[in-house]
Amino acid sequence: MFETKPSFKKIISNNKLIKGLLRLSTKDLSNLYSKVLNKNKKAYKELEKKERSIQIELERIKKIKIDIKYNLDTIQKGFYTNPQNISLSYKKIGKNKYVKARIYWHGKQREVQVGSIPNIMKLLQDMMKDKLITLKTDIPKIIKWEKIKENQELLKSIKGIAALKFQDYIIRQLLFDEKNTDNDIIKQIIPEKVDKVVEINIDSENNINSDIGNEENWYVDWRKNNLG
């Protein structure tokens, strides 16, 4: 803000020029001083106005950068089947156990059910037949989760299945957002804190957020749509 105007009497008492060579009257010096003060006051106001304008632009730039970050993440996870950054776990649901996969997208951790171990092994066999994957070792029909965790080749292949499911989900979500522009998530600021894990299922085109999916039906549909 502006500086407080000093007492002009004090200025006069300290000013040796008022009765010196300048030969200015007290009034003339006072007017000159006031003009300089007013000019400085206007400069401060202009500075505040520019700073507010810059702050608004910085906020806009910040939001654009967040949009770019989100778009690049969507391109990577929605249009490429990349198993990186996918974590797997083995959970009991009801009476059965299933392999679950998690990925971070659009400010939240998304969780998808990859399937039971026997069904996953069957899926991997089908994918090998379709030449989608190549494994050096045979795929066992029966294997425990502990053994799977020790087999990096199997783990990578299971993550590959999860990546396909996440890819399918993200593309469906983007299509849904295109039809619902009022809820356009691309224009939202991505929260840094993850408060919730969203469990997703990509088996039904009309229900992308139901709890549990059928991995066998999913692959059959995916195969028809992608391999002909």
In a domain, 46, yes or no: yes
Domain boundary among 77, 93, 116: 77
Domain boundary among 60, 77, 94: 77
What is d(CA 116, CA 118) in angstroms, rounded to the nearest whole number? 6
Indicate if 93 and 196 belong to the same structural domain: yes
Tokens describing residue 25: 């009257």
Q: Reply yes or no on whether the pLDDT at 194 is more than 50.
A: no
Say if strands 197-200 and 108-115 run parallel, antiparallel, or are unpaired. parallel
In a domain, 93, yes or no: yes
* Count of helix runs (H) and strand runs (E) in the chain: 6, 4
Q: What residues make up the domain containing 42?
A: 24-77
Indicate if 64 and 176 belong to the same structural domain: no
Q: What is the pLDDT of residue 83?
A: 82
Confidence of residue 133 (pLDDT cuts 50, 70, 90): confident
| Mean pLDDT, rounded, for 25-40 | 84
In a domain, 150, yes or no: yes
| Mean pLDDT, rounded, for 111-132 | 88
Indicate if 88 and 72 belong to the same structural domain: no
Indicate if 182 and 136 belong to the same structural domain: yes
Indicate if 73 and 128 belong to the same structural domain: no
Give the Å distances, CA to CA, from 12 to 28, 40, 45, 52, 205. Answer: 12, 21, 28, 38, 84
Neighbours of 139 (CB within 10 A): 18
Helix axis angle for 152-179 and 215-227, nearest 10°, is: 70
In a domain, 2, yes or no: no
In a domain, 60, yes or no: yes
**Segment (H or E) for 186:** none
What is d(CA 166, CA 125) in angstroms, rounded to the nearest whole number? 20
In a domain, 123, yes or no: yes
In a domain, 17, yes or no: no
How many structural domains are present in the chain?
Answer: 2
In a domain, 109, yes or no: yes
Indicate if 126 and 161 belong to the same structural domain: yes
Indicate if 114 and 201 belong to the same structural domain: yes
Please give the model's pTM, rounded to 2 decimal places.
0.62
Q: Reply yes or no on whether the pLDDT at 195 is more than 80.
A: no
Indicate if 91 and 30 belong to the same structural domain: no
Indicate if 106 and 188 belong to the same structural domain: yes
- pLDDT more than 70, % of the chain: 69
